[in-house]
Amino acid sequence: MENNKFNKEQHIAFINRQRELEDLRLFIDKEPAEILFIHGPKSSGKTTLLYKLFNQLEKEQKLDVKFLNLREMVTELADDFDYKDFLRMFFQVKPEKEKKEKLSAGINIGLFEIDAEIEKNMLQGKSDPFKVMKEKFIQLRDNSIKPVLILDELQALDKIYMNNGKGKRLIIELFNFFVAITKESHLAHIIIASSDGYFLNTVHTDSRLKKSSRFYKMDYLGKEDVMEWLLNLENYSRIKDYTLSQEDAEKIWDTVGGSMWEIQDILTELFNTPIDETLTQCKKKIKEAIEHYIGTDMRKEKVLQVFLENETARIRDFVPGGIGLDEIDGLLQDMVRSNILYFDPTEALYYPQGKSYQWGIKLYFESIS
């Protein structure tokens, strides 16, 4: 029984996303002409969707997909980030024995491969890294392979961008390069994904990307999808030990909305715990996270209070709390960075990361009143 259960819990559902897959497929089928910024709350399925899409496309066309997860790359080198680190983000010296260049299509979790000589030249400023990347793209195109470069978790660069003048310049230069190879020379598709809409917007504005990029939003699942999932657990999650009634499903929707990882968490918990208790615990956990985040900072409390009355808010909606605009901006930025709030860069709207956070905020204020 125990072993059995473990297996069932491991099955990861994938629900719908037909429209998103279709939209992104159209983007890839067109000639590269703009940078695509995929934004959406944390765990809204951006990375999963990109993997799904390129796994499908790879079977149909010759692609070279470089998938760079910046969070994994940057953590060790954030503090004194310099040009050498920047190069390490994109290039990898390949071992001598593999020197003969053979271009093959596929999804690569990783970097541009170069030989030691080129690296040395780049470090000495004799060779331009952007030219090296561009040449790789040209080679691929000449071999009828479509190059795609994906930078996932762009927000991992925020510390470098905000605190390091050199870092900021390099990142802006990188975006200029992206404009050149999309809008100007149509060489490669560039996709940037991030759950920090605030940072995306900052980079977007600083790099003057208005006419050379497009935002695409990935949100949590809609109600119809969630109901379809929860009322067909065996089908989507291979759960045979229990089924959910319409009423149970509604309760789950009411607690976490379409947030997939929270739904998965709840489904796992339901093997052992009755539904009402599971959902109460779920809300309590977020309430405690909010409590911990606020600590003794009454300004944070004032900002979050706005969401008792409003589902979404613009920056001016926080002003009546008596805090100065600059300070509000800083607080909101911190809340977005801490994944308490989401900032939608196309609408300039702030709102809690999903339904469970709305509950958490509500319960926090109930507990202190």
Ligand X SMILES: Nc1ncnc2c1ncn2[C@@H]1O[C@H](COP(=O)(O)OP(=O)(O)O)[C@@H](O)[C@H]1O
Which residue ranges make up the site for Mg ion (CB under 5 A)?
46-47
Applying CB under 6 A, among 32, 45, 197, 258 the residue interacting with ligand X is 45
Residue 194 contacts which entry, ligand X, Mg ion, none (Cβ below 5-8 A, type-dependent) = none
Question: How crowded is the C-beta side of 245, counted as CA atoms within 13 Å?
Answer: 3
- The contacts of residue 66 (CB under 8 Å, 6+ apart) are 108, 110, 111, 112, 147, 148, 149, 150
Task: Name which of 40 and 257 has its Cβ closer to Mg ion.
Answer: 40
- Of these partners, Mg ion, ligand X, none, which one is at the site of residue 15 (CB under 5 to 8 Å by kind)? ligand X
Q: Is position 46 an interface residue for ligand X (rule: CB under 6 A)?
A: yes
Nearer to Mg ion by C-beta: 218 or 252?
218
Question: How far apart are alpha carbons 169 and 147 in whole angstroms?
Answer: 25
The answer to whether 39 touches 195, Cβ cutoff 8 Å, is yes
Closer to ligand X at the Cβ: 225 or 317?
Answer: 225
Pair 122, 87: CB distance under 8 Å: yes
Binding partner of 174, given ligand X, Mg ion, none, CB within 5-8 angstroms per partner class:
none
Q: Is 150 exposed, middle or buried, given 0-12, 13-18 or 19+ CB atoms closer than 10 A?
A: buried
Q: How far is CA 117 from the centre of its chain?
A: 35
235 touches ligand X by CB under 6 A = no
Ordered DSSP codes for 148-165:
EEEEE-GGGGHHHHHH-H
Question: Is 204 near ligand X (CB under 6 A)?
Answer: no
Query: Of the listed pieces 44-52, 314-322, 331-339, 343-351, which binds ligand X according to CB under 6 A?
Result: 44-52
Q: Would you count residue 17 as binding ligand X (CB under 6 A)?
A: yes
Taking CB under 6 A as the rule, does residue 42 contact ligand X?
yes
Shortest CB 353 distance to Mg ion, Å: 14
Starting at the earlier edge strand, list the strands of the sheet with 146-152. 106-108, 63-69, 146-152, 189-194, 35-39, 213-217
**Which ranges of 114-257 does DSSP label H, i.e. alpha helix?**
116-123, 129-142, 158-163, 165-179, 197-206, 223-230, 233-237, 246-256
Helix count (H) and strand count (E) of the chain? 18, 10
Residues in 257-316 at the binding interface with ligand X, rule: CB under 6 A: 260-261, 264
Pick one of 8, 13, 69, 108: the residue that binds ligand X (CB under 6 A): 13
Exactly one of 34, 47, 191, 300 binds ligand X (CB under 6 A); that residue is 47
Query: Of these, 28, 34, 43, 233, which contacts ligand X (CB under 6 A)?
Result: 43
Rule CB under 6 A: which of 164-203 touch ligand X? 195
Q: Which part of the chain contacts ligand X (CB under 6 A), choosing from 42-50, 165-173, 309-317, 333-341? A: 42-50
Q: Phi then psi for 349, rounded to 5 degrees?
A: -115, 140
- The residues of the shown chain that bind ligand X, judged by CB under 6 A, are 12-15, 17, 40, 42-48, 195, 260-261, 264
